[in-house]
Structure 1
Amino acid sequence: MSTPRTRSETWTADDLPDLSGRRIVVTGASSGLGLITTRQLAARGASVVMAVRDLAKGERAASTLRELLPAADLELRALDLLDLDSVRAFADPLAGEERPADVLINNAGIATQPHRLSPQGYESQFATNHLGHFALSLRLMESLTRGTDPRIVTVTSALYPWGRLDLDDLAGERGYSPGRAYVGSKLANALFGVELDRRLRASGSPVRSLLAHPGMARTPMQDNARTPVERLVVAVIGAVLGRDAEQGALPLLYAATVPDLPGGSYVGPQRRTGRMRPGPVPLVPPADDPALARRLWDVSERVTGLRLTPVA
């Protein structure tokens, strides 16, 4: 007699539930994992707010999706996560609307960038990948609290265990390395997702915070590898472990829609190679360090001027 397989062993995009009536915000929705996630959600009836840095590129992506899915409910809005003023300009009108957001997928990111600063003076990868999403999540929290089965999904990377954070050097001025800065920002994503859920539970909020990572998925972000060594590493890892972006999006979709997934879950590939098998996987150090998570949270509050408001 064969042993029944668990849901995560068989889960694919075909298992997405009917999402009619749900409003989902996806950052970085014009390409890569964000575009695929948007398409799959819209195909199941979700109303998707496509948060994009480049509106012209976003219009082209939305037009392509509407050709594939004539009934797709898509709304395009400008968001540059590098700039906290842009985050406020995007989030505050959305938060003030009567219709709430049900899910926020913090997907957008930049990788292996040369050293530059955000308009507020912070290293660009930390600012975009972490601070922008931190601010966005807190600014949309009241809207999400009014949503149905509300959750925040933050996309990290399987590389986070190698990340290090220098929270006394947010400008990245000491020995800057594009690769180290990227991996550090992905550690920040992981720490944020876990700490956010801890604080939401403590406050009695109905919102859940979850983490997802796509494994080594072949997406346009890999084109950012700049040095010959970086390009060689990406090519070798991609050839051995890489999955196509359609499979890479599955952990994001799983985290955003599976009904009984506990807050604080970290969803990723449950095997390194072969066809994607999304499901909860364990977090490892340093992402499970509560003291580091609290320190990152405190720094992020100070930088953004935002605090998590308890449920009334």
Structure 2
Amino acid sequence: MPSFFQPPVTPLPNGVNLHGQTAIVTGASSGIGVEIARQLLEVKASTVILAVRNLTKGEAVRRSLLAAKPEAVIKVMKLDTEDYKSVQNFTKTFRAEHSELHLLMLNAGIGTLKREMTPTGHEKNVQVNYLSNVLLMLELLPLLNSTADKTGARARVTWTGSRFHGATALANKAPLQSGETVLGHFDSEESFVAFARYADSKLLCVLFLYEMRKHLASDKVIVNTFCPGMVNSGMSDVLPIYLRLPMNAIKALRARSPEKAAWIALNAAIVAGPESHGEFLGDKAIVEPVAYIKSADGQKVQKMLWNETIDEMSRLTTIPAWISKV
């Protein structure tokens, strides 16, 4: 039986130096994102972009980081992952202002229990946690590739994930019906399972990466995802009060600090090597796919999702040559 308490984790090894490198951290106005940005500055990242929905909060974070590192180059940029147009505006502006990108940390995420739709027409958790992150990555991959060519070192993309992806509603509560699409299923009101939707959205991320690694080599860009474990952040604030109180009590006993969660994030982003490409890391170790993903149904959904995501992204951005349907 797994231990109630989470195992200890260690900080980055000595000697990590990101001097000359530019990093983007999404969701950088609170929680893990703030700590990731702070630690990137500690290892001498030359430019850190705080990609945030709320510019006022982002500027407050920038000021607090500059108070500790007055010599740092920290920029705040608007990014609302509920809306494709905001993603496109962000990437267009970034590419116009920066000739290199070494590290993209896809950290923005939500876990709402109420079914809401976004301007894109998709369910909010799926849009924020999955679709907008795919678009952001595809829009910036050419720059990541050119940076790798220029520097001779691999660029990196890492995605904040969750072990909860194994608790997806697809496994037993709301499986795909004949004729359904994956994205259509999650957009439908009938399939919405409130306490599984966060897991559902994180499953989509893992499925995409597992399929992506069959198409994209790790010679220029390493892409992975990780779970930081239970973290003492504001993610549980969306819970109703009768659940929030016991959850906060549990967090007080077992949750990691944002500082330790960022150690795990930066391990995936900086320390883990090509072997982590297209993999899910639980803490710092590569984890085997969960039972649902290995099942025949899971493999079918993985391919369906890949094809549907290609169709979705082709309406928004230039699809790279390495992407093909399966």
TM range (shorter): 0.7 to 0.9
- What does residue 59 of structure 1 align with? 59
- What does residue 287 of structure 2 align with? 281
Contact 1:218/1:243 (<8 A) preserved: yes
Deviations 1:44-102 (A, max 9, x none): 11121111000011000110000011122211110000101111111123234551211
1:30 deviation in Å?
1.1
Q: Verify: 1:162 aligned to 2:167, yes or no.
A: yes
Which AA in structure 2 matches 1:279?
Answer: A
1:265 and 1:16 map into 2 onto residues whose CA distance is 25
Look up the SS of the partner of 2:220 in the other structure. coil
Look up the SS of the partner of 2:130 in the other structure. helix
Cα distance 1:197–1:94, how it changes in 2: closer, same or farther (>3 A)?
A: farther
1:233 deviation in Å?
5.5
1:153 deviation in Å?
0.5
2:221 and 2:130 map into 1 onto residues whose CA distance is 19
| Equivalent of 2:260 in 233, 236, 247 | 247
1:196 deviation in Å?
2.6
1:57 and 1:139 map into 2 onto residues whose CA distance is 25
- What does residue 75 of structure 1 align with? 75
Look up the SS of the partner of 1:117 in the other structure. coil
2:188 and 2:253 map into 1 onto residues whose CA distance is 32
TM-score (normalizing by structure 1):
0.86
- What does residue 182 of structure 1 align with? 198
- What does residue 299 of structure 1 align with? 308
Look up the SS of the partner of 1:112 in the other structure. coil
2:15 and 2:30 map into 1 onto residues whose CA distance is 21
- What does residue 37 of structure 1 align with? 36
More displaced stretch, 242-251 vs 127-136: 242-251
- What does residue 25 of structure 2 align with? 26
Contact 1:197/1:208 (<8 A) preserved: no
| Equivalent of 2:155 in 138, 150, 154 | 150
1:60 and 1:137 map into 2 onto residues whose CA distance is 26
Deviations 1:252-281 (A, max 9, x none): 100111163421232233xxxxxxxx3333
Contact 1:251/1:279 (<8 A) preserved: no
1:130 deviation in Å?
0.4
- Within 5 Å, give how 1:150-229 maps onto structure 2: 150-164=155-169, 167=182, 168-201=184-217, 206-226=220-240, 228=242
Identity of aligned residues (%): 28
2:287 and 2:14 map into 1 onto residues whose CA distance is 20
Contact 1:164/1:187 (<8 A) preserved: no
More displaced stretch, 204-213 vs 123-132: 204-213
Contact 2:36/2:266 (<8 A) preserved: yes
TM-score (normalizing by structure 2):
0.82
More displaced stretch, 212-221 vs 291-300: 291-300
Which AA in structure 1 matches 2:290?
Answer: V
1:198 deviation in Å?
2.6
- What does residue 268 of structure 1 align with? 282
Look up the SS of the partner of 1:120 in the other structure. coil
1:77 and 1:131 map into 2 onto residues whose CA distance is 20
Look up the SS of the partner of 2:201 in the other structure. helix
Which AA in structure 1 matches 2:244?
Answer: R
Cα distance 1:207–1:41, how it changes in 2: closer, same or farther (>3 A)?
A: same
1:126 deviation in Å?
0.5
1:287 and 1:147 map into 2 onto residues whose CA distance is 33
Number of residue pairs the alignment of both structures matches: 293
| Root-mean-square deviation over aligned CA pairs | 2.4
More displaced stretch, 121-130 vs 66-75: 66-75
- What does residue 138 of structure 1 align with? 138
